[in-house]
């Protein structure tokens, strides 16, 4: 490297009246009068590299690229919503629950009295009466919950696009094909398949008066609910059965 630092020096070719710029290695073409030397324009600095973007999230997404919600987030949201709905439902149906418990306790006392008197209990009649008590209270046990559940989910999905549990978990319900909140028909279909359909099956078994019919109805309702909850695990769009019926998806947008 040259020991002479860059700068203006007397031009060796033109004499002391002119200065020529020495870049530290060689004489350049930049010259100026000795009275008012000016530095040559500095070369433009290279443009700073653009900040790198974070890697895009991978995994299933909507057609416009919004990530679909994971299964565990949906289960957590279901749990939170179950608590939100169960508390007021328990309060509303409390009179029916108390009345049913009183009748069942009376039925049990009659059975114990027969046994204490040495009589052979008529278990067939006992179970028939037991089921009749359920049937007599079925309307007030199921109707408030159905109304409360429908109102809660329908209003929250239409108003906010998410229930309380889904908002806590950062989830949103939207149409499959486009962003935005689900329409009223979509909301009603989701509620019907998610809750009203299995509840109706269970209620029919309850009022049938047959333990066999009640057992079948209970098994069908529980299997349907289980399939509905597990379906997103293997579905490529992570849709539950009520999502498929309503043509909606649950997403978890990046924050």
User: In this predicted model, which residue has the larger pLDDT, 99 or 53?
Assistant: 99
Asked whether residue 49 is assigned to any structural domain, the reply reads no
- For residue 155, tell me if it sits in a domain: yes
Containing domain of residue 117, as a range?
71-251
pLDDT recorded at residue 255: 66
CA distance to 47, 70, 180, 210, per residue, from 67 (Å): 34, 9, 15, 47
Q: Do 11 and 87 belong to one domain?
A: no
CA dist list (Å): 254 to 27, 60, 160, 180, 239: 58, 13, 18, 16, 19
Predicted pLDDT at 49: 52
Q: What angle do CA 112, 117, 121 make, to 5 degrees?
A: 55
**Residue 19: its pLDDT value, please?**
82
pLDDT at 39 over 60: no
**Confidence bin at 69 (pLDDT 50/70/90):** very high
pLDDT of residue 170 exceeding 70: yes
Do residues 15 and 34 make contact, with C-beta atoms less than 8 angstroms apart? no
Task: Indicate if the pLDDT at residue 93 is higher than 80.
Answer: yes
Question: What are the E-state strand segments in 34-176?
Answer: 172-175
Measured CA to CA, the distance from residue 15 to residue 51 in angstroms comes to 50
Q: Give the global pTM.
A: 0.67
pLDDT for 37 equals 47
pLDDT digits (tens, 9 = 90+) for 105-138: 888 888 788 777 777 777 777 778 888 887 787 7
Q: How many domains does the chain have?
A: 2
Is pLDDT at 43 greater than 70 in this prediction?
no
Query: Within a domain: residue 120?
Result: yes
Q: Is the pLDDT of residue 36 over 70?
A: no
How far is Cα 190 from Cα 246, in angstroms, rounded to an integer? 6
Q: What is the mean pLDDT of residues 222-250?
A: 95
Instruction: Please indicate, yes or no, whether residues 14 and 137 belong to a single structural domain of this protein.
Output: no
22 and 104 share one domain: no
* Residue 54 forms part of a structural domain: no
- Are residues 31 and 75 both part of a single domain? no
Mean pLDDT of 18-42: 68
Whether 131 and 238 map to the same domain: the answer is yes
Computed over every residue of the chain, the mean pLDDT equals 83
Task: Give domain status of residue 45, yes or no.
Answer: no
Range with the poorest average pLDDT among 57-71, 126-140, 219-233: 126-140
198 in the same domain as 138: yes
Closest by alpha carbon to 237, among 56, 69, 73, 64?
69
pLDDT at 2 (0 to 100): 56
């Amino acid at each position: 490297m040259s020991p002479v630092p860059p700068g203006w020096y007397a031009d060796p070719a033109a004499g002391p009246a002119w200065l020529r710029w020495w870049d530290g290695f060689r004489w350049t073409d930049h010259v100026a009068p000795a009275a008012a030397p000016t530095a040559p324009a500095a070369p433009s600095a290279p443009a700073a590299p653009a900040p790198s973007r974070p890697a895009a999230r991978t995994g299933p997404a909507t057609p416009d690229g919004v990530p679909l919600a994971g299964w565990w987030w949906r289960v957590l949201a279901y749990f939170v919503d179950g608590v939100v709905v169960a508390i007021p439902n328990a309060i509303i149906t409390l009179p029916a629950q108390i009345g049913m418990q009183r009748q069942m306790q009376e039925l049990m006392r009659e059975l114990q009295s027969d046994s204490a008197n040495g009589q052979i209990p008529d278990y067939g009649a006992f179970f028939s009466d037991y089921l009749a008590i359920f049937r007599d209270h079925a309307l007030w046990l199921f109707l408030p919950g159905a109304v409360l559940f429908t109102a809660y989910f329908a209003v929250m999905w239409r108003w906010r696009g998410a229930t309380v549990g889904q908002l806590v978990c950062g989830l949103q319900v939207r149409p499959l094909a486009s962003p935005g909140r689900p329409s009223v028909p979509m909301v009603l279909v989701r509620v019907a398949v998610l809750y009203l359909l299995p509840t109706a099956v269970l209620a029919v078994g309850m009022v049938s008066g047959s333990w066999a019919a009640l057992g079948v109805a209970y098994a069908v309702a529980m299997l349907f609910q289980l399939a509905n909850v597990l379906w997103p695990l293997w579905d490529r769009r992570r849709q539950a059965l009520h999502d498929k019926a309503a043509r909606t998806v649950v997403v978890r947008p990046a924050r």
